[in-house]
């Protein structure tokens, strides 16, 4: 999982770097491992700054001031246990043809096959394990077949069609063609999110932004925005400054990854017409119903069994609050989060003194002592975090500890960009719900039913326009006069289902067993190499030293 962003401004004297930097901060939650920006200035020259670390560390004022140009793209990389340490930060770049840069969010599942094709047929060298480099080179190879000195929109759409036909997996991408414009495209299932926004300026000109989440668009005054559809692409050339859309391949399904709503996206984003915040409220409500029913079936009243609802910060807060309201129980913030936890220093001869959970969270005895508490979290992955949290609640004096998960049992790995763990490391792997309870040491674990979770992630057409935040099919601007250039003529297609393979083992792109095996091997190799015993989520804590890669340096 990653965050991607692209901006093209109608004002050729503007430098979009600062807006890209600002936008990166809104997407930081999507990837804290590495950050990068590439801009394109006069004469098609590229300026780049990328490296390991958070946006604020990589993008300093001085470095930003050297990124010239009125269009550019950015990337925030999510740590994947498979490869984060040894693969490069994005955007990736190839010089031929035309100079293409690319930011990719997602994971391809037929990378092995593509690598072979690149080697044996296209003769392009791939220098990292990153499937994004493959995707970029494939696009470049397709574009090169036209062998023209300048491409046009049709050539680009045709090239993308070639890409779509070869690639399998999840991909939301923003590409930049040097001196030409920016391009956005999304896989034919719409697994990863991508939106386009339009900002009308006082001079009547328009700027465009492509982004992973609507929150960036709104925050930057791109008031009219919409989702790119599965299989759809958009090109905005700097000369025309007019977005051209095309359904490059037919939509195979419309299946956004349900994990975006459970955990990944910011609550104030609206993705594929679904408010993340609202879906999380509903998750709390549905959980509460399940809990009430559970006690009813035992002839008990939930109010006699549970004293207080406590969220595990941060993602689950909204769900937990709504859960408490629905249960008519008090809601308390029993865990205080240390927001300054970041890098951890481990000396070679020393084991980490504290678990990463305890470094991040502290339980307040006053909220736990002598009480039966219901802890609410977004999900249970390996179970080690949940187990530690249950322990902390008990140490703080809780009488009984119940654990509620806003999502169903995670039994299978996530294969489209959130590298959770090998199947066998998931606490839900080959375990019943009760066995998970035992494993994490809770008195009982409540899980969301999958059909309930899916119910929570619905577009709600009963909402007023301002509540839907114009996310479905915006047509006119605020003053009802100007037709937006990004409007759809037709209604947004219905979502056909969700990518929920982590719960069911059935992935929208089909049987991906061999991909999962390869990913397992990659993780094992990487674990041996780093030899630190920290994997998966813990990687967030251990940052590689910052290596900033500056390419070109422009002067204002
Ligand atoms: C699942 O668990 C059962 C009982 O604990 C065990 O017999 C079986 O071998 C396990 N299956 C797998 C695939 O691990
Ligand atoms: C609550 O949800 C769990 C998880 O799917 C399910 O197994 C259980 O039957 C539900 N309980 C009730 C009472 O609906
Ligand atoms: C998934 O994608 C990320 C980002 O491109 C990449 O680093 C990683 O190697 C991919 N994982 C696998 C197993 O291909």
Tell me the pLDDT tens digit for each residue of 222-264. 988 889 999 999 999 999 999 999 999 999 999 999 999 999 9
Q: Is the CB of 319 under 6 A from ligand 3?
A: no
- Distance (Å) from CA 526 to ligand 3 centroid: 12
User: Could you report the per-residue pLDDT of 304-347, keeping only the tens digit for each?
Assistant: 999 999 999 989 999 999 999 999 999 999 999 988 876 555 55
Residue 377 inside a domain? The answer is yes
- Distance (Å) from CA 454 to ligand 2 centroid: 15
Domain co-membership, 372 together with 424 = yes
Residue 529 inside a domain? The answer is no
Domain co-membership, 399 together with 361 = yes
Residue among 380, 445, 447, 503 whose CB has most ligand 2 atoms within 8 A, to mutate = 447
315 is in an annotated binding site: yes
274: closest CA among 107, 455, 112, 57? 455
Domain co-membership, 109 together with 85 = yes
Q: Is the CB of 146 under 6 A from ligand 2?
A: no
Q: Characterize the bridge pairing of strands 270-271 and 244-247.
A: unpaired
Domain co-membership, 250 together with 275 = no
Task: Report long-range pairs for 320-324 (Cβ below 8 Å, ≥24 apart).
Answer: 320/284, 320/376, 321/284, 322/280, 322/281, 322/282, 322/283, 322/284, 322/285, 322/288, 323/284, 323/285, 323/287, 323/288, 323/291, 323/374, 323/376, 323/404, 324/284, 324/288
Domain co-membership, 346 together with 247 = no
293 is in an annotated binding site: no
Domain co-membership, 445 together with 385 = yes
Residue 61 inside a domain? The answer is yes
Whose CA is closest to atom 13 on ligand 3?
519
Mean pLDDT, the chain, integer:
87
Of all residues in the chain, what percent carry a pLDDT higher than 90? 69
Residue among 129, 257, 513, 527 whose CB has most ligand 3 atoms within 8 A, to mutate = 129
Domain co-membership, 40 together with 187 = yes
Of all residues in the chain, what percent carry a pLDDT higher than 70? 87
Ligand 3 atom at minimal distance to the Cα of residue 519:
13
List the catalytic residues: 2
Residue 182: phi and psi, rounded to 5, are: -115, 155
Domain co-membership, 327 together with 209 = no
119 is in an annotated binding site: no
Domain co-membership, 431 together with 484 = no
pLDDT beyond 50 at 86: no
**Structural tokens at position 510:** 């089909």
- Distance (Å) from CA 223 to ligand 3 centroid: 33
CATH number of domain containing 104:
3.60.20.10
Q: Report residue 80's pLDDT band, with 50, 70 and 90 as the boundaries.
A: low
Number of domains in the chain: 2
pLDDT beyond 80 at 477: no
Domain co-membership, 111 together with 232 = yes
Domain co-membership, 24 together with 108 = yes
CATH number of domain containing 287:
3.40.50.2020
User: Could you report the per-residue pLDDT of 380-426, keeping only the tens digit for each?
Assistant: 998 999 999 999 999 999 999 999 999 999 999 888 877 777 788 89
Residue 516 inside a domain? The answer is no
pLDDT at position 528 is 64
- What is the rounded distance in angstroms from the CA atom of residue 236 to the CA atom of residue 221? 18
User: Could you report the per-residue pLDDT of 16-32, keeping only the tens digit for each?
Assistant: 999 999 999 999 999 98
Whose CA is closest to atom 1 on ligand 2?
290
* Domain range enclosing 48: 3-255+463-494
Q: Is the CB of 503 under 6 A from ligand 2?
A: no
Residue 29 inside a domain? The answer is yes
At residue 96's C-alpha, the angle toward residues 93 and 100, to 5°, is 40
Q: Report residue 541's pLDDT band, with 50, 70 and 90 as the boundaries.
A: very low
- Distance (Å) from CA 503 to ligand 2 centroid: 15
Q: Report residue 527's pLDDT band, with 50, 70 and 90 as the boundaries.
A: low
- What is the rounded distance in angstroms from the CA atom of residue 346 to the CA atom of residue 245? 50
Query: Which ligand is located closest to the Cα atom of residue 429?
Result: 1
Last residue of a domain, one of 447, 472, 494: 494
Residue 366 inside a domain? The answer is yes
396: closest CA among 336, 328, 439, 338? 336
pLDDT at position 462 is 60
Residue 343 inside a domain? The answer is yes
Domain co-membership, 73 together with 204 = yes
Ligand 2 atom at minimal distance to the Cα of residue 289:
14
Residue 351 inside a domain? The answer is yes
Counting beta carbons within 10 angstroms of the beta carbon of residue 48, is it exposed (0 to 12), middle (13 to 18) or buried (19 or more)? Answer: buried
3-state secondary structure of 478: coil
């Amino acid at each position: 999982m990653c965050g991607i962003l692209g901006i093209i401004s109608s004002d050729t004297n503007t430098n979009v770097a600062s807006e890209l930097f600002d936008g990166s901060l809104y997407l930081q939650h999507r990837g804290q491992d590495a950050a990068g920006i590439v801009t394109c200035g006069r004469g098609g020259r590229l300026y780049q700054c990328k490296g390991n670390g958070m946006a604020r560390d990589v993008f300093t004022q001085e470095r930003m001031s050297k990124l010239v140009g009125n269009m550019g793209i950015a990337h925030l990389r999510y740590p994947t246990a498979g490869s984060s340490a040894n693969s490069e930060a994005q955007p990736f770049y190839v010089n031929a043809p035309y100079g293409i840069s690319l930011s990719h969010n997602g994971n391809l599942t037929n990378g092995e096959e593509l690598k072979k094709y690149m080697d044996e047929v296209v003769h392009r060298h791939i220098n990292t394990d990153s499937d994004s480099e493959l995707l970029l080179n494939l696009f470049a190879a397709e574009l090169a077949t036209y062998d023209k000195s300048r491409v046009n929109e049709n050539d680009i759409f045709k090239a993308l069609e070639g890409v779509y036909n070869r690639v399998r997996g999840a991909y939301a991408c923003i590409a930049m063609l040097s001196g030409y414009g920016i391009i956005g495209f999304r896989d034919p299932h719409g697994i990863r999110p991508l939106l386009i926004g339009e900002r009308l300026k006082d001079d009547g000109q328009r700027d465009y932004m492509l982004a992973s989440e609507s929150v960036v668009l709104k925050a930057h005054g791109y008031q009219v925005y919409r989702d790119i559809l599965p299989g759809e692409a958009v090109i905005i050339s700097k000369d025309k400054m007019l977005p051209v859309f095309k359904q490059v391949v037919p939509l195979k399904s419309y299946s956004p990854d349900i994990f975006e709503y459970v955990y990944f996206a910011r609550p104030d984003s609206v993705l594929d017409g679904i408010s993340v915040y609202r879906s999380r409220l509903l998750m709390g409500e549905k959980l509460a119903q399940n809990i009430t029913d559970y006690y009813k079936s035992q002839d008990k009243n939930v109010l006699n069994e549970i004293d207080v609802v406590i969220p595990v910060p941060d993602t689950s807060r909204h769900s937990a609050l709504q859960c408490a309201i629905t249960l008519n129980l008090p809601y308390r913030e029993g865990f205080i989060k240390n927001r300054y936890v970041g890098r951890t220093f481990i000396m070679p001869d020393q084991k980490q003194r504290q678990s990463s959970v305890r470094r991040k969270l502290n339980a307040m005895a006053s909220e736990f002592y002598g009480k039966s508490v219901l802890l609410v979290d977004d999900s249970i992955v390996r179970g080690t975090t949940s187990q530690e949290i249950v322990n902390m609640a008990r140490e703080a004096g809780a009488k009984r500890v119940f654990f509620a998960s806003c999502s169903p049992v995670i039994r299978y790995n996530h294969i489209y960009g959130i590298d959770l763990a090998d199947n066998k490391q998931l606490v839900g792997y080959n375990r019943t719900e009760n066995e998970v309870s035992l494993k994490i040491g809770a008195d009982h674990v409540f899980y969301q039913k999958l059909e309930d979770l899916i119910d929570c992630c619905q577009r709600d057409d009963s909402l007023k326009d301002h509540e839907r935040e114009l996310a479905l099919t915006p047509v006119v601007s605020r003053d009802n006069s100007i037709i937006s250039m990004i409007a759809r003529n037709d209604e947004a297609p219905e979502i056909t289902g969700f990518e929920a393979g982590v719960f069911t083992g059935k992935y929208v792109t089909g049987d991906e067993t061999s991909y999962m095996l390869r990913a397992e091997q990659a993780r094992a190799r990487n674990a041996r190499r780093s030899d630190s015993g920290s994997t998966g989520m813990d990687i967030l804590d251990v940052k590689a030293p910052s290596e900033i890669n500056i390419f070109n340096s422009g002067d204002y």
